[in-house]
Amino acid sequence: MKCIILIGYMCAGKTTVGRELAKRLGRTFYDLDWYIEERFHTKVSQIFAERGEEKFRDLERRMLHEAAEFENTVLSCGGGTPCFFDNMDYMNSVAQTVYMKASPETLIQHIGMSRGRRPLLEGKSPEELEAFVREQLAAREPFYMRAQHIIDINILDSFDRIKDIVDSIQAATGL
């Protein structure tokens, strides 16, 4: 069975929803950043710091090609993954792609609740954070909008809502 790939901005809920979707479909779940960290025994933030974004994006592209070929999987990608090289074309050719679309306000709220370390966001004031998210989302949205399915996730505040989003993905993908 074709892989299902979830894309969207950081903190959109790709991992949370992806885990639940994989469980429901009886598939294996992979988070691309975690996959990279396992394969290279180092954190993505450390790869970024030591090798720079260009080298990380090349590594990310190679690992995307590897992980997307696995059978019967759900894969969540980092927020920037669709925006480099031919990644979006590739994902659309080998998988069903789902853009988990959220407003800047929702994303900023999710970022505020996130426990994970986000190197791109560290040290930003609330105003700087909002400007950064709006600007980056505007730049990335044309790539995200090329997904085969677009699911609005603006209210991802309870387990019931996560199940609703998984229902929506299942309905959209026909699975």
Q: Is the pLDDT of residue 117 over 70?
A: no
Count other Cβ atoms within 10 Å, centred on residue 4. 26
Residue 160 is predicted with a pLDDT of 81
Q: Give 73's pLDDT tier (boundaries 50, 70, 90).
A: very high
Instruction: For residues 136-160, give the mean pLDDT.
Output: 89
* Domain CATH number, residue 155: 3.40.50.300
Q: Give 18's pLDDT tier (boundaries 50, 70, 90).
A: very high
Instruction: For residues 73-83, give the mean pLDDT.
Output: 97
Residue 37 is predicted with a pLDDT of 96
Q: Is the pLDDT of residue 119 over 80?
A: no
Count other Cβ atoms within 10 Å, centred on residue 97. 24
Least confident of 16-20, 26-30, 109-113: 109-113
* Residue among 122, 111, 137, 107 at smallest CA distance from 49: 122
Instruction: Report the number of distinct structural domains present in the chain.
Output: 1
Q: 4 is written with which tokens?
A: 């299902």
Average pLDDT value over all residues in the chain:
92
Instruction: For residues 125-143, give the mean pLDDT.
Output: 94
Residue 144 is predicted with a pLDDT of 98
Who wins on pLDDT, 118 or 18? 18
- Residue by residue, what is the 3-state secondary structure of the chain? CCEEEEECCCCCCHHHHHHHHHHHHCCEEEEHHHHHHHHHCCCHHHHHHHHHHHHHHHHHHHHHHHHCCCCCEEEECCCCHHHCCCHHHHHHHHEEEEEEECCHHHHHHHHHHCCCCCCCCCCCCHHHHHHHHHHHHHHHHHHHCCCCEEEECCCCCCHHHHHHHHHHHHHHHCC
The range of the structural domain enclosing residue 141 comes to: 3-173
